[in-house]
Structure formats: C-alpha cells, structure tokens
C-alpha cells in the first residue's frame, strides 16, 4: 500500500544519473550540527562531512574529511538504472542503482541520514544480492601546509589565505596544521587538535595591543578538538595509501567488510569539544560511539523530529500545480530547500555561515583544498549573517537562532574592553566582521609596514581618537582603536540589528533573553556615550544645536561619510523602544527612564531629501546624495527596524515615492544579499515584489547541480544569504507584523494561489489558504489574536 503523500514530497529533489562534475554535483543532507555533501562519481559514493564550529588554529571552518564508499560487486560502476533522492520529510538521501553488467544486475539501495540526537552519520545498505564494501577516510590535512600569499594580494579570492580571511596580508608565516588519523581496533579514528595558543585569535589580540586582557576574552579555538570515528558492521582493517583528487594530494585509511552481506550499516560518529587533555576528549568520543552503536541512527526519533520541523510552518506557492518549470511555483521549492539547509545546523554551536554553511565543496577553478571558502571561517560578516536568521522567526525555527545570538554574547568582554581601552567610555563595539572574541577584524585593522602586504593592507599613521582630520575613512590616517577600512571602518549598524533581532525573538516566542540583555544594553549605550564624547571633543558640548545626538563620523551600511545614518538611528529607536517594552524583571524602571531620555535626544526621523521634485527617504540626515551602495540604507527604517508600517500612510507614500524615483535603486541587480525584493514587499507593491522574488530565486548557479546551491555572487557557493534574503522577501509578501497587528497578504498578487503557515509575535500562528483571489481559510492560533489580523488588501 502506497504511503500517503506529505506536503513536502512535491519539493523532493531526485536525480537519475551520477555526478558528471564531482562535488559540484553533490546533494546536501544533515541534521543537528552536521552537514554532508554526497555524490556518486566513477562508481564510488563520496561524502564530505562538516561539524558546526570546527574552526582550526587559523580560524578556517574545516571539514572532518572526505569519505569514499565502494561496493563489490558494484552496480554504481555502470548503472542501468540510477536514482539519488533527497526526501525532505525525514531529511534523508537515498541512492539506488541496478548495474548493467550481468555480475551487477541487482538492486542496491543506500539510505543516508544524520542523526539529530547524536551528531552521527548513517549509511545503511540493503541489496538484493550480497555485497562487500570498502570505506575510506581521506584527508588532505596529512601534513602541515603553509598558506602562501599571492602576488595579487589585493584580490583576496586569489589567496589561499582567504579561507582564514583574517590573515590576508599578514606579514608572518601562516601554517595550517595537520590532522591525526589512525586505526583504533576495527575503527578509524580521525581528529584535528588546535594548540594551546592558536594563531586565531592570538595574532589579532597582539595586533590590537590587548594581550593584557587575554584571559578575559573568549577563545573558542584554544585546545579545540574535532573529529570522529568510522564504525562499520563486520569491518576489518584494509590497506591505506595516498592519492590526488582534483589537484589536491591526500592520504587515506580504509576498512572493509569481513565478507559479503545483503545488509550493512556504516556509522560516522563525530565529536567536538575544548579540553586541555586529549585523553578526556577521546573518552567522550568513545562514549559517543557506544551511544551511536546502540541507537543505530535513532530512525523513528529522527523521522519524528523532521516531521515536527515541517509541521511548524510552510509556504506552498500554486499548491494545485506541480510544474517544476514554472518560476513562480519554484518559489516554494527554493523556500523549502533553503529552510532544510538551515535546519541541518539547528543545534550547531556556531551559527550557520552565510558563505556556504556546512555545504561548501572544492572551490571551482581554484587550486585550493576543500576547506577553502570565500570570506573565511570564524569571522562572520554580520550584515550577511542576519539574512539567514531573520526568516527563522516566521518559520517557527527560533530555537535555531541562539547560536547567532551566542556569537555576540561570547564577544561581549572583548567588545567592551576594546571600547574602554581605546575610547575611555562604556559600551560595546563589534566590528561588522566579528568573531567570538568581540575584537576588531585583523584584516581591516591592517598590518605594520612590512614590504609584503599590498598598500591597502598596511596600517597607516595612527592619530588620537577624535582627531579633527578624521571624517570617516581618511586615506593615510586612522584613529586609534579603529579599523582602517573604507567599507566597514565605521559601519556599526549590525550590533543594533542583532540586538533588535533578540528583542523580536522574545516578542515572537516569549523565550528567555536574560543572558543576552547585557549585549543589547551595552550595544545601545555605546552610541550614546561614544558620540557625546566625539561632540565634546569637537566643540565642547555633548549635543548639536538642537540638543540632539550627532552621530558622526559614521556610515550608512557601507556608504561612508554619513551624519546621523538612517539605519543607525532607526536601529537605536527600535532597540530603545524594545527595551522599554520589556517587563520590569528584565529592565529596571531606572534603566527605562534612561532609555526614554536617550530616545528623546535622537534626531527626529524619518530623514528626507528632495530630488527631481520628489520627496524621498534619505540614507542620513541632511544627505541629498544620489549615489550609494546596494544595501539601500534609506529603507532600513522599513526593514529590518519596523519604523514605518502600513498604518503610517504619509511615511509609506514617501517610501513608495522613494522606490519609484530613487536612482540608486537598480532593479536589474538582485543577486546575492541584495534586499530589493524585501523592500518592495514592505512598501506594499505586489507586482514588483513578485517580479523581484522570482528573479532572485530563479537565478541558481548553473555550475552546481543542487537547485538551491546559489552563487557565486559576493559570497561564494552555496550562497546562503542569497537564499535567506529570498525567503524573507517571500515571507514579507505574505505576512507582516508591527506591534500587535498582523497584516495578511500585504504584498501578494491576487492572481497567485498560495497556502502558508507562518508565525507571528505573542506565540501566534497564522494559517491561510488563498485561492482564485479569495481567502478560503484563515486560522489564527490562539483565537484571541484574531482581532489583531488585518487582511491586505480588503478583498
């Protein structure tokens, strides 16, 4: 009897031929805190495994290794029938084949999944004829390697150091240390162990003259060990060796089955922890291996976990159709696949990275190993990371957001020490590119003159904090305590955005945020004290002639030399109002009085400019520039900071005028992290929003086989913040939330059917079925929230 169809089945991905292009043709799967790429190549099944937070001594986010599985006899070698299928409803990949040769004319099925509960990988073989297997562990980290700088150092993508990022231009030796791997009885043990004093973050601590505070800073790389064991049913040691894959040499160890069988189970147990004593780490790995062998993949519990995951929310566009060539229907496909990719790191210790998460593969056309990725590992570009985490609120996946929040919580000591040392006041300052130490980004801080780095990587003459010559990025000069970077040197918005995201997490879920409140409060205090002090240094008074805070030098996202940036002021308003709204157990009345006074001394918003006879939103106060960057900070008061809502009729019309007439908006460019699709939804233009979302989400990489492996744009492959921005854009067409109000279908075209289930503040769930221009079903849970729902347009 055929099983009943589940709603995600329409979005399963199936291929009927093996890989033609190695790992570029790989399929993702994972769960808990592990992610895998799997593909079939020349008769072998290959697998990359990555575990969240596995940062080496250089801060690279490295894979645990490559695994290669071969069968004898082998129907994968020359197949008469082949299938490789990702089944979303249980998060698994199943590969089946029937061989052409008479010796291989039988069916073999390989079922692969990650156990969410134990962080282990399971490969289960069922065959209609007994087969033997051989499984290899392959590592390219079998010896120490120097990451050499290239002559074209200014083009980071040509540097082997780009995978560590911090050390591009570093004048010293950058050494990537080898792994350890050996037989351990009838298993293979493999691991990487960081030293007591790894280069990341210690080089940056020394660079920024903060060694005296080293013991107060979070160092997640110190004594970090990550790795695992391969355990196979009836496995014995096999011969090891060496080889070369895609231009990179490797060594391997192997296990093989003692004989043939119609069933085999191969397990990869993983473990990651910091411990000064390796024996302690090894004991915990062995304990984990025992658990993995006893539970054998927790099949039923994993099915239940993924079913609960998919039951929490959904977006099904054109639900009556199954036309995989229809770009509008495919919005639902990309949305679900993106959610699956993010869900594979639901319990990760480290955030899902914008630049590929756990699913990067060998860099296309570059002579670097599989660990290499654009923009590095343990440093996170905050304005990119946020696009992965905002959609989780409405998806109901808020439980996965704490890894991103913890990045800022762990970095708070460094972010406050830095401010106190260099500026002499309270508050926390996080770099736009931040890691868990909370320090400035070493690459953007720049290096001493050394005859090696390109000019743009050399730290110029330092001048005192508040020097009158500094008006933002100033070529040839840098303020003490500041980074020397035209793009991020004074870009401080993201700490406010993540503070606001935590406040919204609390508003949506009611979840505890006590341990994040010091980060939120110190992030806000920084702006008040920092810019009062700057103004005092300029003219002896803390405020401007209106008695308002003057935020300068500053940037509007990456647009420099911007007084009172719209994104910063909107972020401060949102955070201050959010703090005031919190219960008194979290924020005292005295603190609320301070936040109200701070609100009152912010410059009045929105900031406007006149251009071509039109009144439009400006990127900053007094700004009448027509140029700018693609972040479009003039729209940040709409998203992410919710300062302009559909109820604000006058401001919303100005926002629409801005959309229609602002020449900085290039609608031909929508790839990567660009947010025009989100802004179009927020200004309430269904036609533009749909067109931009369709364009954005139907622009996948033709070099990669998996549909939602987007890129390359700005951020490598697969580009997670690309698909994250697309998911937000789709959500904002369907559901917007401001205060207590819930706007349903605020920017959805009336001629496109959709079913959705999304989450709203106050632990509210909204389910809608929209057919033929009519709402056929509108369910709101709990019922008392129905009074807050506004259907837009009133159909």
262-302: pLDDT as tens digits: 999 999 999 999 999 999 999 999 999 999 999 999 999 99
346 part of a folded domain: no
250 part of a folded domain: yes
Element (H, E) at 597: helix 589-600
261 part of a folded domain: yes
Give the integer Cα–Cα distance in Å for 54 and 377: 9
Element (H, E) at 741: strand 741-744
- The pLDDT of residue 151 is 46
Tokens of 622: 């007094």
283 part of a folded domain: yes
CA distances in angstroms from 29 to 50, 84, 125, 223, listed in the order given: 11, 12, 17, 29
CA proximity to 351, closest of 416, 410, 421: 410
625 part of a folded domain: no
Q: What is the number of H-type helices and E-type strands within the chain?
A: 15, 30
Tens digits of residue pLDDT in 396-439:
999 999 999 999 999 999 999 999 999 999 999 999 999 999 99
Q: At what angle are helices 517-539 and 493-509 packed, to 10 degrees?
A: 150
Tokens of 511: 């979840």
Work out the number of other CB atoms within 10 angstroms of the CB of residue 574.
Answer: 22
Give the integer Cα–Cα distance in Å for 80 and 75: 8
For 357-363, what is the mean pLDDT?
94
CA distances in angstroms from 451 to 169, 170, 560, 690, 697, listed in the order given: 10, 11, 29, 52, 45
Tens digits of residue pLDDT in 95-105:
999 999 899 99
Tell me if 134 sits within 8 A of 255, measured CB to CB.
yes
Looking at the structure of the chain, the number of domains it has is 1
> Is the dihedral angle over the CA atoms 325, 329, 330, 331 positive or is it negative?
positive
Which residue segment(s) compose the domain that 59 sits in? 7-142+181-195+226-312
Tens digits of residue pLDDT in 740-775:
999 999 999 999 999 999 999 999 999 999 999 999
> Strands, DSSP E only, in 52-106?
65-72, 79-87, 92-99
152 pLDDT exceeds 50? no
Residue 196 is given by DSSP the state S
- The pLDDT of residue 490 is 97
Q: What are phi and psi of 637, to 5 degrees?
A: -60, -20
CA proximity to 568, closest of 485, 672, 494, 629: 494
Tell me if 551 sits within 8 A of 472, measured CB to CB.
no
- The pLDDT of residue 2 is 66
262 part of a folded domain: yes
For 301-323, what is the mean pLDDT?
98
CA proximity to 180, closest of 144, 206, 148: 144
CA proximity to 163, closest of 355, 364, 433: 355
CATH of the domain at 252: 2.70.98.50
Whether the link from the prior residue into 172 is cis, omega within 30° of 0, is no
Q: What percentage of the chain reaches a pLDDT higher than 90?
A: 90
Q: At what angle are helices 566-581 and 493-509 packed, to 10 degrees?
A: 30
761 part of a folded domain: no
423 part of a folded domain: no
pTM over 0.95: yes
């Amino acid at each position: 009897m055929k099983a009943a169809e589940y709603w995600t089945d329409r979005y399963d991905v199936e291929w009927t031929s093996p890989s033609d292009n190695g790992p570029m043709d790989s399929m993702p799967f994972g769960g808990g805190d592990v992610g895998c790429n799997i593909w079939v190549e020349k008769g072998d099944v290959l697998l990359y495994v990555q575990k969240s937070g596995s940062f080496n001594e250089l801060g690279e986010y490295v894979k645990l290794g490559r695994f290669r599985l071969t069968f004898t006899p082998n129907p994968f070698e020359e197949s008469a029938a082949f299938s490789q299928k990702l089944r979303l409803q249980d998060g698994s990949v199943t590969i089946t084949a029937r061989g052409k040769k008479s010796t291989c004319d039988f069916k073999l099925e390989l079922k692969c999944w990650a156990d969410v509960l134990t962080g282990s990988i399971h490969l289960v073989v069922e065959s209609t004829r007994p087969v033997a297997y051989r499984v290899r562990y392959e590592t390219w980290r079998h010896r120490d390697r120097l990451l050499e700088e290239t002559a074209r150092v200014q083009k980071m993508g040509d540097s082997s150091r780009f995978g560590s990022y911090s050390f591009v231009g570093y004048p010293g030796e950058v050494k990537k240390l080898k792994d350890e791997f050996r037989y351990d009885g009838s298993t293979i043990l493999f691991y990487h162990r960081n030293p007591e004093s790894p280069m990341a973050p210690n080089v940056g601590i020394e660079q920024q003259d903060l060694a005296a505070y080293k013991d107060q800073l979070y160092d997640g790389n110190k004594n970090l060990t990550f790795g695992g064991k391969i355990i196979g049913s009836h496995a014995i040691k096999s011969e090891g060796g060496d080889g070369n894959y895609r231009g990179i040499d490797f060594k391997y160890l192997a296990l093989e089955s003692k004989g043939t069988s119609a069933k085999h189970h191969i397990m990869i147990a993983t473990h990651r922890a910091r411990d000064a004593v390796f024996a302690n780490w090894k004991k915990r790995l062995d304990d984990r291996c025992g658990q993995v062998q006893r539970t054998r993949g927790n099949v039923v519990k994993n099915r239940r976990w993924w079913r609960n995951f998919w039951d929490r929310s959904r977006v099904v566009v054109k639900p009556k159709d199954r036309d995989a060539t229809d770009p509008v229907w495919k919005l639902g496909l990309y949305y679900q696949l993106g959610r699956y990719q993010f869900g594979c790191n639901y319990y990760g210790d480290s955030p899902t990275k914008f630049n590929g998460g756990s699913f990067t593969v060998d860099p296309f056309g570059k002579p670097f190993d599989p660990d290499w990725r654009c923009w590095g590992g343990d440093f996170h570009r905050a304005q990119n990371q946020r696009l992965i985490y905002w959609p989780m609120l409405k998806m109901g996946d808020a439980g996965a957001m704490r890894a991103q929040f913890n990045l800022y919580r762990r970095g708070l000591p460094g972010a406050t020490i830095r401010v106190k040392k260099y500026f002499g006041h309270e508050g926390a300052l996080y770099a736009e590119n931040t890691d868990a130490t909370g320090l400035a980004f070493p690459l953007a801080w720049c290096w001493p003159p050394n005859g090696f780095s390109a000019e743009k990587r050399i730290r110029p003459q330092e001048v005192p904090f508040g020097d009158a010559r500094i008006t933002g990025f100033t070529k040839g000069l840098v303020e003490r305590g500041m980074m020397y970077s035209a793009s991020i040197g004074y870009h401080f918005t993201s700490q406010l955005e993540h503070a606001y995201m935590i406040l919204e997490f609390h508003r949506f879920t009611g979840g505890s945020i006590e341990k994040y409140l010091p980060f939120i409060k110190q992030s806000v205090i920084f702006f008040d004290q920092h810019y009062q002090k700057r103004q005092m240094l300029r003219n002896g008074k803390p405020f401007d002639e209106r008695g308002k805070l003057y935020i300068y030098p500053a940037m509007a996202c990456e647009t420099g030399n911007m007084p009172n940036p719209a994104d910063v002021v909107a972020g401060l308003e949102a955070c201050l109002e959010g703090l005031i709204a919190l219960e008194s157990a979290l924020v005292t009345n005295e603190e609320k009085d301070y936040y109200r006074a701070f609100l009152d001394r912010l410059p009045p918003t929105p900031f406007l400019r006149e251009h071509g006879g039109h009144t439009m939103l400006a990127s900053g106060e007094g700004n009448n520039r027509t140029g700018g960057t693609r972040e479009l900070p003039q729209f940040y008061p709409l998203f992410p900071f919710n300062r302009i809502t559909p109820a604000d009729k006058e401001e919303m019309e100005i926002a629409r005028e801005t959309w229609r007439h602002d020449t900085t908006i290039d609608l031909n460019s929508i790839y990567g992290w660009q947010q025009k699709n989100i802004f179009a939804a927020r200004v309430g233009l269904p036609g533009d929003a749909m067109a931009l979302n369709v364009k954005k989400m139907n622009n996948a990489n033709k070099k990669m086989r998996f549909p939602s492996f987007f890129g390359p744009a700005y951020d490598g492959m697969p580009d997670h913040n690309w698909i994250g921005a697309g998911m937000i854009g789709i959500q904002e067409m369907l559901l917007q939330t401001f205060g207590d109000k819930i706007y349903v279908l605020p920017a959805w075209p009336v001629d496109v059917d959709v079913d959705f289930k999304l989450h709203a503040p106050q632990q509210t769930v909204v389910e809608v079925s929209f057919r033929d221009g009519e709402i056929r079903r509108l369910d709101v849970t709990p019922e008392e929230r129905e009074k807050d729902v506004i259907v837009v347009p009133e159909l």
